[in-house]
A and B are shown apart, each in its own frame.
Chain A
């Protein structure tokens, strides 16, 4: 069965430090992968997505992610974190693509806190 695992429930970093959020997926075919960010009380905003091609994907707000098929991973990175990055981050894989639509399976999320 398809699944997404985000091993880190909470992460705290200092402002200006680098960040890596881990995501591992289980999916039989070539995955469509996404990272979303959710601020408190808000909906989800897409940070970046991977469908095919270059395995290093650039997103908004200075985020990037690297798809590693051999490790079934799609980790999110940012070289220098800003206080406004404090939020919850969700990794997701799309299923049902062969049927012409995307049903997203989400990980449990990683809550990021940023210290000044």
Chain B
């Protein structure tokens, strides 16, 4: 059973470009979380999605950031017009429906570098 997959593992963008980060949850998981880890800091919650629904986006910056989890395909975290401060590691986690357990399984992360 494959774990949570994220790609790319490393992404380099110039200021003003767009970054698209993908996350494929574990098989059978329909709940996805995105977290951001700035250098030398812990992970900060960004958004929680179920299939085709954004449930909690309280940690998302108000501008330039968006997330989706379509009926088919991976979850996408999109950052428009990237700035240097967006450089970070972005982690995706998936979990089964809450009534089936509470553990979040984390992917290896995408390390975004903005030049």
**Given that A90-B42, A108-B42 are known contacts, is A43 also in contact with B33, CB under 8 Å in the complex?**
no
- Interface locus among B13-21, B69-77, B78-86, B101-109: B101-109
B91 touches A96 (CB 8 A): no
B33 touches A103 (CB 8 A): yes
- Interface locus among A11-19, A44-52, A60-68: A44-52
A104 touches B45 (CB 8 A): yes
Main secondary structure of the interface of B (DSSP, over half): strand
How many chain B residues touch A (CB < 8 A): the figure is: 24
For window 37-94 of chain A, which residues contact chain B by CB distance below 8 Å? 42-46, 49, 51, 90, 92, 94
Q: Which of these, A32, A43, A99, A108, contacts B102 with CB under 8 Å?
A: A32
Of B45, B95, B108, chain A has the most CB atoms within 10 Å of the CB of: B45
Q: What CA separation (Å) do A109 and B93 show in the bound complex?
A: 18
**Given that A42-B108, A43-B107, A44-B91 are known contacts, is A101 also in contact with B43, CB under 8 Å in the complex?**
no
Residue-wise, chain B 5-28 has the 8 Å CB interface mask toward A (1 for contact) of 000000000000000000000000
List residues of B whose CB falls within 8 A of some A CB.
4, 31, 33, 35, 41-45, 48, 55-56, 91, 93, 95, 98, 102-109
